[in-house]
Chains A and B, each alone.
Chain A
Amino acid sequence: MLRFAGKRLLWALVTLWAIITITFIIMHSIPGDPFAREGKMPPAVYENLTKHYHLDEPLYVQYFLYIKSLLVFDFGPSLKSSTLTVNDYIEKGFPVSLHLGIQALLLAVVLGLIFGVIAALNRNKWPDYLSMVLAIIGISVPSFILATFLINYFAVEWGLLPAATWSSWSHTILPTISLAMLPMAYIARLMRSSMLEVLNQDFMLTAKSKGLNKGFIIMKYGVRNAILPVVSVLGILAANLVTGSFVVESIFGIPGVGELFVDGIFNRDYPVILGSTIFYSMVLIFLIFIVDIAYFWIDPRIKVAGEEQ
């Protein structure tokens, strides 16, 4: 296992390097300029700015300067803020996004699995249809609509919860629901379908005929064998949740990292683009690695890539 992890770490470095390089090339080949403004900016001001941020150097020099600063984990300044650096943005924003993301993930996984299993056990009966309707709403109503609705009712109309900002636990309830709805629906559907398949497997029938407790069979043999597709998609799902959602964070005024991914690009804030990309890919690569290990844990027959016999 250790050798496997070591090997994947090396691969992760290669992957990261490829991501950085390709992103660097693309971001410098699209139109736009971090200092472009509607209106007048005298050439002198423009030159002072580009010189200040080393953007007047040839691209390859900028590239090597960037890689060099990366080696000491310095993501550089933000071209739009003289107050916060890219490191500041991530350090301040990530704990918030992580907190919200984990809450949403827990809600989505727990409820999603429960709904999925119940639906499968009650196939074509009302719990199944109810969970399907809920899932369809979850999948068809995107977070920006759901969020606006939730604020409108829970905060404005009924005054039960605060509308926005990140100041106490009660402030996290609405954004968590907005964020969790889609993954929950997805997990519920996925779990239902693979559970249905498992329920018809011979070993389930054997266990049943042996007279084992029904709940025990479902937990021990059913869920464990049916959960694999959920685990497969969980890596990407979790990476997207814990690195912040632009939509949900901006609607609820949550100081997470979600905005970096979008604002960085619209502002052509080069260090922010690269910094947020590297940050995201590290999380993604890590979580996908965890998923690959989880495969082995769930079904020891599976041989994970890179682990040669």
Chain B
Amino acid sequence: MSKGNIVLTKEMFVPAEDNFLEAETISAPSVSYWRETWRRLKENKLALFGLIIIILLVLMAIVGPYINGYSYFEQDFSKKNQPPNSEHWFGTDTAGRDLFTRAWYGARISLFIGLMAALIDFVVGVIYGGISAIKGGRTDNIMMRIAEVLFSIPYLLMVILMMIILERGIWPIIVAMTITGWIPMARLVRGQVLQLKELEYVQAANAMGAGTFWTLAKHMVPNMMGPILVNITLTVPTAIFAEATLSFLGLGIPAPEASWGTMASDSLGSILIGNFYQLAIPALLISITMFAFNVFGDGLRDALDPKLKK
């Protein structure tokens, strides 16, 4: 506000009209929360870039394995350990299999597992942690002790037990991944809710008779989206590598199918003899995925947070 160049005229000082009703109406067009979020998200170039990468990754996971005419399982020992070249764009592995095809085949499994694990951890974690903190007292105590029990029972033991009960496939992996995966999320959400529920606007909402779920969903989740999104972005790579651990126990996808996690852990020996690209390809793809999710997640968080509105 620059000083000095405002000319005051008499017309500026007319009495206000006594129209209280009009003052109460909302002048801006009524936009829903989510549409508003989308509008703000679109303005964030970096977040859009992240979104485009995610869409590209998903597209490649669908069509990538069919592009160059190799299959993920066909071996050709005369062509083993070839660095990336015009024939094999990502090179070949120790059995002479095409890494481009394997990488995109692996993307299907890894992306699906990563996203599902993140989604389930989010839903279960927010609900469990939220209820625990909102109800408080004895309920909170018991719910947190149950989480402790579940988190303390050896994870490998539960997975081995699960293998006897469940058939092989992708869903047992998801179950194994999320059986304790939601607990850190629940602890995080509980901590945030404990803090938020003492704030005036939440207490006001409660006083006005808002239910537990309503308070949680409408007033609290948007206000702790930041930490939640960070946690989700951590869940994705953790799940991708946990799949490799699970396949060690025999719960993962069976060989010769590929996933980024198993591709990375199998090619560990390649560091020792200098075939870095075998490890670099899955590691790079995971990093790119993480980059995309991070910038998109950040943008989403900003868009969701009304306080950051500029």
Contacts and interface: CB of A to CB of B under 8 A. Distances in A.
Are A and B bound to each other?
A: yes
Contact of B136 (A133, A139, A303): A303
Given A30-B161, A305-B141, A186 B271 contact: no
A284 B148 contact: yes
Contacts of A288: 144, 148, 187
Contacts of A145: 264, 268, 279, 283
B154 A265 contact: yes
Interface string B280-310: 0001001101110011001001000101100
Interface in B200-234: 223-224, 226-227, 229-231, 233-234
Nearest to A265: B156
A276 B141 CA distance: 25
A26 B153 contact: yes
B237 interface: yes
Contacts of B283: 140-141, 145
A273 B198 CA distance: 42
Chain B: interface residue count, which band? Answer: 35 or more
B227 A229 contact: yes
Interface in B61-114: none
Interface SS of chain A: helix
A148 B271 contact: yes
A200 B226 CA distance: 13
Contacts of B279: 145
Interface in A219-252: 228-229, 231-233, 235-236
Given A31-B164, A193-B229, A236-B187, A142 B241 contact: yes
B164 A30 contact: yes
A153 to B, nearest CB: 10
A136 interface: yes
A240 to B, nearest CB: 10
A213 B264 CA distance: 49
Given A228-B191, A281-B152, A152 B272 contact: yes
B127 interface: no
Contacts of B192: 228-229, 232
B191 A229 contact: yes
A265 B158 CA distance: 11
B187 A232 contact: yes
B158 A190 contact: no
Contacts of A144: 265, 268
A142 to B, nearest CB: 5
A233 B149 CA distance: 17
23 contacts: A15-B148, A23-B153, A30-B161, A132-B294, A136-B291, A140-B286, A141-B283, A186-B234, A189-B294, A193-B230, A197-B223, A197-B305, A228-B195, A229-B191, A231-B191, A232-B187, A233-B184, A265-B154, A288-B144, A301-B195, A302-B198, A304-B194, A305-B132
Interface of B: 132, 136-138, 140-141, 144-145, 148-149, 151-154, 156-158, 160-161, 164, 183-184, 187-188, 190-192, 194-195, 198, 223-224, 226-227, 229-231, 233-234, 237, 241, 264-265, 268, 271-272, 279, 283, 286-287, 289-291, 294-295, 298, 301, 305, 307-308
Interface of A: 11, 14-15, 18-19, 22-23, 26-27, 29-31, 132-133, 135-137, 139-142, 144-145, 148-149, 152, 186, 189-190, 193-194, 196-197, 200, 228-229, 231-233, 235-236, 261-262, 265, 273, 276-277, 280-281, 284-285, 288, 291, 295, 299, 301-306, 308
